Amino acid sequence: MRFLQPDYLYLLFLLLALFPLWLFRVTRARRARILAGAPVRNLSSPSSMTADAAIFGTATLALAALVLSLAQAQWVRQVITPQLKKMDLVFLIDTSPSMRAEDVRPSRLDRALEVIAAFCDRKPEHDRIGLVAFTGGSVVLSYLTEDPNNIRYYLNYLHDDRVQRLGTNIGRALSNGLTVLKKEQEINPAAADNKRVFILISDGEDHGAELNNAVSNVKGAGIKVHTIAIGSAQGAPIPVAWSDTPTTRYLLDAKGEPVISYLDERTLRRLAQETGGGAYRAVTGLELPQILTRIVDTEREIEGFKRSVEFRDLHQEFLFAAFGLLLTAIFIRGARV
């Protein structure tokens, strides 16, 4: 505890002087009543002495509380705050036609884009996000940035993109993810000290021929890949014209029947296992925010602790205490009478 106006504390010494004065007054009053013929046993009864002592003690404490309030007492507390290591997250997003399936509302892809946008808005300022989209090919949409508006711009682009690109080449997406990290390290070598993580969101099995080599490169770079399989067990037809058009059309097979997109987690689970990441599943899409939070909490590292001192004013607390003690003294006095 510290005091902003410590000079007022000298008043506490005056309060100490009140005790002998009170004792002298009580003794003198007792003698006066004896000389006046009052019964001694009433004057020296335990209840009378206890009441006098309680009134004096309560009033003295009230004055002491007022003095501490005038001295502007503050409670001093040392705070230890963990310093979180900067994190570079690269989202690898499957944008193949099957990701437009609507078993997850409004669609597998749109739900993922919504959750990633919200995640970027609430991330710590120093964390950075990169964005890679992939189908049969792959493209880097955004290199690492702290600006969530930049990421939101490209997420909106993916939402509005209507070009059909077939295939699912996870290996190429991983390679582009490494390109994002390599590019940043060329500009800022210190970025290699950041915690670097890939988050891959897809609904299907890899159809490329580059996966094994890409996984080896990712493991060599010490990057964990967390995979999120999105979609329901029963699957859904694949739109080729989306619901904002007058008529929704679906991909048909040779017999004219809708092609059903089923969730295939095998490749995603293997990828996560080989790189040391986690494999997650979002059946309804509602699980996505919790999954992203869990991934970040799992990977977040503490690189040190910051010590600081906080002060809390106790002026009002001591003022209220003094008021309460004075009321108590008045109550005891009234009860005694």
- Residues with Cβ within 8 Å of residue 67, at least 6 apart in sequence: 8, 9, 11, 12, 15
pLDDT the model gives residue 296 = 95
Question: What span, in angstroms and rounded, lies between the C-alpha atoms of 120 and 282?
Answer: 19
pLDDT the model gives residue 256 = 82
Q: What is the CA radius of gyration of the chain?
A: 37
- Classified as helix, coil or strand, 267 is helix
pLDDT digits (tens, 9 = 90+) for 217-252: 999 999 999 999 999 888 888 888 655 556 678 878
Asked if residues 8 and 22 have their Cβ atoms less than 8 Å apart, the reply is no
- Residues with Cβ within 8 Å of residue 319, at least 6 apart in sequence: 65, 66, 69
All residue ranges of the chain with pLDDT < 70 are 22, 26, 29-30, 32-49, 241-247, 335-337
Closest residue by Cα to residue 120 from 167, 152, 168: 152
Q: At what angle do helices 211-220 and 170-187 cross, to 10 degrees?
A: 30
The model's pTM = 0.70
pLDDT the model gives residue 284 = 92
